[in-house]
């Protein structure tokens, strides 16, 4: 794991302490599960790849995407990224690496030479999402609508007039508004399912 390659300073190790029947333990490397671990790891990657971010690569935690216009440029940029990672003593897990790809799935999106779009596999969750049912409490119906809106909102940049389409559903999540699943809500729900 990338996290386990980031050392915890001796000054900060007591903050990671936990006790077992065998005694007190402290982490020497960044573990999963700490509240600040993702931020710490992201900051480390930002520092390691500082001169390359946004010109050669993008970094989100342990996902590093190297982009280029030509294959030759790609090789040069890969070398630059590899040099920075090696200088920081970070090792890659080769089975998780892809190189010189024209199509890439990352963070629920598909990146191609034409641009960025939603991952069709992830959209299946939107398409299969159940509408609120009569057997649910009002609180559970509201939670279901909120979950659906959250799922759809992740891809809102790909849906023209998202806010207008979603308005009949978002109004159901407001305080002191009665939950009425009517024709407008059904239209909104179905429109968002096919809008992607």
Question: Is it the case that residue 172 has pLDDT exceeding 80?
Answer: yes
Name the phi and psi angles at 46, rounded to 5: -60, -40
The number of CA neighbours under 13 Å toward the Cβ of 12 is 12
pLDDT bucket at 133, cuts 50 / 70 / 90: confident
Position 158 confidence tier, pLDDT thresholds 50, 70, 90: very high
Q: How high is the pLDDT of residue 196? A: 73
Residue for token pair 């508004």: 177
Q: Which of 152, 78, 74, 82 lies closest to 113 in space, CA to CA? A: 74
Average pLDDT over every residue of 151-162 = 95
Query: Can you give the pLDDT at residue 135?
Result: 87
Q: Where are the domains of the chain?
A: 3-101, 120-195
Alpha-carbon distance of 34 to 73, in angstroms, equals 38
Q: Does domain 3-101 have CATH number 1.10.230.10?
A: no
Residues 172, 179 contacting (CB under 8 angstroms): yes
Q: Which residues of 19-31 are buried (b: 16+ CB within 10 A; e: fewer)?
A: eeeeeeeebeebe
Residue 159's CB: how many other CB atoms inside 10 A?
17
Is the per-residue pLDDT at 28 higher than 90?
Answer: yes
pLDDT at 83 over 80: yes
């Amino acid at each position: 794991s990338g996290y386990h390659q980031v050392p915890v300073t001796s000054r900060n190790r007591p903050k990671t302490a936990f006790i077992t029947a065998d005694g007190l333990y402290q982490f020497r490397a960044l573990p999963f599960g700490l509240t600040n671990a993702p931020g710490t790891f992201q900051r480390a990657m930002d520092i390691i790849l500082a001169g390359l971010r946004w010109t050669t690569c993008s970094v989100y935690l342990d996902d590093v995407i190297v982009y280029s216009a030509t294959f030759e440029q790609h090789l040069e940029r890969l070398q630059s990224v590899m040099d920075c990672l090696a200088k920081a003593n970070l090792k890659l897990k080769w089975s998780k690496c892809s190189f010189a790809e024209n199509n890439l799935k990352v963070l629920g999106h598909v990146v191609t030479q034409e641009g960025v779009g939603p991952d069709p596999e992830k959209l299946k969750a939107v398409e299969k999402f159940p509408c609120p049912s009569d057997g649910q409490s009002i609180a559970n119906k509201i939670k279901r609508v909120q979950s659906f809106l959250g799922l759809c909102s992740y891809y809102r940049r790909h849906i023209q007039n998202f806010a207008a389409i979603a308005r009949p559903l978002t109004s159901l999540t407001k305080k002191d508004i009665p939950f009425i699943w009517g024709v407008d809500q059904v239209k909104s729900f179905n429109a968002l399912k096919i809008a992607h």
